[in-house]
Amino acid sequence: MRRTTHPGGPVAEPAAGSTTHGEQPETLRLLAVHAHPDDESSKGAATAARYAAEGVDVLVATCTGGERGDILNPSFGEGPEGIDGMRALRRVEMASAARALGVRQQWLGFVDSGLPEGDPLPPLPEGSFGLVPLEEAAAPLVELVREFRPHVVTTYDPSGGYPHPDHVMCHRVAFEAFHAAGDADRYRREGGAAPWSPLKLYYNHDFSMNRIRTLHEAMQGAGLESPFGDWVESRSAREIPEREVTTRVHVARYYAQRDAALIAHASQIDPDGFFFAIPRDLEVDVWPFEEFELAESRVPTQLPEDDLFAGVRELVTTEGAGQ
């Protein structure tokens, strides 16, 4: 059977650049869209590392600079001055995390909204990502999708995964870009790249109650103190409806890279905190995968899956394939 490269998805008139390229081998491409620097290291990190190790071109897009993050690691010492200082620090940390995962990373240029606290909640700071109108907020990502031409895009579910305004906004812009980037009539820009329709959209589910409870019970079963007790017992956590998991990617071999990437975010991640409270051999035993929800697919695929590129590999001529 003749294999073709990217078919361009169901755009009415496939545009140049998203049609077939003859039999030229093409690299599979994965775009992981995240709200802040460090989110790529706590959600889908081992998956990104695995695909990168397997030759997939993996690009992390980070919506904001994480400027309004607090210093969350008690052993970090004093943080930098102001949001400019924080932005500069987190750029260095992000570069180090990307190296640990073996992926590329690009900033989308928005400003962290911060996590509003209080009752009533205070308004978001002027100019922050959570306040940017959708069309303006999605434009840089649409452009990036057209330039990078990912086959698969990952992001958060509509709730953001947790109630940070930037995470909700991250979902909205990724969803918008997934649908709009292939439409030549939308987000037109003089000299911009040709339209491109990614083939699959996934939501990260690494903080599901199922995972937390499984790790919690395994810790207790091993006679260890679980860091998740409050989480499992909290009524509000139990009331969050579980989203569907369609896809489990086996990534235990890449947990060391995930951990190195987390540690790289030294201002944010406490090396003695809950991310590192689970012994790795126990984690590998009971939870050797990362979970995703297939939200949209423009290719046929059978659920459940164990590969984000299921149904895509058949369409793309890659090096070593096509026999």
Answer for which of 28, 30, 35, 173 binds Zn ion (CB under 5 A) is: 35
Residue closer to Zn ion (CB basis): 131 or 252: 131
Is 230 known to sit in a ligand binding site?
A: no
Choice from 39, 157, 259, 291 touching Zn ion (CB under 5 A)? 39
Is 6 assigned a ligand-binding role in the annotation?
A: no
- Asked if residue 21 belongs to a known ligand binding site, the reply is no
Residue among 147, 150, 153, 137 nearest 296 (CA): 153
CB 296 within 8 A of CB 251: no
Interacting stretch for Zn ion, rule CB under 5 A, among 33-41, 223-231, 257-265, 315-323? 33-41
Residues in the chain: 323
SS3 label, residue 294: strand
Contact yes or no for 311/200 (Cβ under 8 A): yes
196: Cβ contacts below 8 Å, ≥ 6 apart? 8, 17, 18, 145, 146, 149, 150, 181, 182
Determine which residue in the list 6, 29, 36, 265 makes contact with Zn ion, applying CB under 5 A.
36
For Zn ion, the closer of residues 36 and 50 by Cβ is 36
| Least distance in angstroms from the C-beta of 303 to Zn ion | 28
Task: Give least dist CB 39 to Zn ion, A.
Answer: 4
Measured between alpha carbons, how far is 199 from 145 in angstroms, rounded to an integer? 12
**How many residues contact Zn ion, by CB under 5 A?**
3
| CA distances to 14, 135, 181, 264 from 173, in Å | 23, 8, 11, 27
| Min separation Cβ 181 and Zn ion, Å | 23
Regarding 171 and contact with Zn ion (CB under 5 A), the answer is no
Quote the CA–CA distance of 239 and 151 in Å, as a whole number.
Answer: 34
Q: Choose the stretch contacting Zn ion; rule: CB under 5 A; options: 28-36, 40-48, 108-116, 315-323.
A: 28-36
Residue least distant from Zn ion (Cβ):
36
% helix / strand / coil in the chain, to the nearest 5? 35, 15, 50
What are the binding residues?
Answer: 36, 39, 167
Annotated binding site for Zn(2+): 36, 39, 167
Interface residues toward Zn ion, by CB under 5 A: 35-36, 39
